[in-house]
Amino acid sequence: MQPRNHPDPHARAANSVHDTISPLTDSETLLMKPTTSTLYAAIVCASPLLCLGPAGAHDASPSQLDELSGFLGNATCAGNLLAAKSAHATSGTYHSEKTLGGHWIVVRYDEEASSSNSKPFHVAQYFGYDPKAGHFVDVLVESFDGGYGAGTSSGWQGDVLTFENTDSTSGTQPVFRDVFTRRGGLVISHTGYQRSKGGKWIRTDHETCKRT
């Protein structure tokens, strides 16, 4: 699955959240994307949604970050790029682990090249918790155009987790959402959405993954 969590980069030009996610079978398991301290600080403070300061997610207690433990592990993923000029099927690999002293969870998603996907997408998405603000935070960097974004989430609502993010790459800061679902404690799907100029949420991509 893609912590593409970024609106799919191919869909950005099309002004590509919340469609109903179809129920998944039990065999569909998981989602689906070490920087230096200087790069970390630059990314985190680049967005008005996520300038954490010296404390920020660093102070997250294990119990808070453990709420996102369903991301951890490895998987193979399959999905579809939806809102783009050349919509196509996607496949890739997923890896997630705790990092940076255990204060963050990183999800890395790497698409595979195919005849319909000559420029596979790669993304790293970091999840943490800001105890002062009382919400979860994410920072992501991706390969399509060197883009980056950041956002927040109030946490799980039942088995659905939504991060509302701002893409800081273009200067216009379009808003996008990453919606994750879980089953049996494990994240099993990801759907990306981007808000159009008219304010409508449009699905950009959807992925499901199987643990390996």
**How many angstroms separate the CA atoms of 69 and 63, rounded?**
10
Task: Write phi, then psi, for 18 (nearest 5 degrees).
Answer: -160, 90
Q: Which residues contact 105 (CB under 8 A, 6 or more apart)?
A: 65, 68, 69, 71, 72, 96, 97, 98, 99, 126, 127, 128
Confidence (pLDDT) at 49: 42
Read off φ and ψ for residue 190, nearest 5 degrees. -135, 135
Q: Are strands 135-142 and 122-130 parallel, antiparallel or unpaired?
A: antiparallel
Given this model, what pLDDT does residue 70 score?
96
Q: Residue 129, Cα to own-chain centre: how many angstroms?
A: 15
The confidence score (pLDDT) of residue 9 equals 44
Q: Which CATH number fits the domain that encloses residue 34?
A: 2.40.128.20
Predicted confidence at residue 172, as pLDDT, reads 67
Q: How far apart are CA 163 and CA 152, in angstroms?
A: 5
What per-residue string of b and e applies to 125-144 under the rule 16 or more CB within 10 Å gives b? bbbbbbeeeeebbbbbbbbb
pLDDT (tens digit, 9 = 90+) per residue, 125-158? 999 999 999 999 999 999 877 789 999 999 999 9
Q: Tens digit of pLDDT for each residue in 112-122?
A: 999 888 889 99
**What was the pLDDT predicted at 140?**
94
Residues of the chain with pLDDT under 50: 4-57, 60
What is residue 63's predicted lDDT score, i.e. its pLDDT?
80
The answer to whether residue 4 is domain-embedded is no
* Residue 117 included in any domain: yes
Question: How many domains in the chain?
Answer: 1
Overall pTM > 0.85: no
Locate 12 and state its tokens.
Answer: 């950005």
pLDDT given for residue 173 in this prediction: 67
pLDDT of residue 62: 61
CB-based contacts of 103-108 (< 8 A; 24+ apart in sequence): 103/57, 103/58, 103/60, 103/65, 103/128, 104/57, 104/65, 104/128, 105/65, 105/68, 105/69, 105/71, 105/72, 107/3, 107/5, 107/31, 107/32, 107/33, 107/71, 108/33
Query: Which pLDDT value is given to residue 1?
Result: 62
Identify whether 1 is part of a domain: no
Does 3 fall in a domain?
no
**Quick one: pLDDT at residue 171?**
65
H or E element at residue 4: none
Please tell me the predicted confidence (pLDDT) of residue 170.
67
Structural domain of 30: 9-211
106: nearest Cα among 179, 162, 31? 31
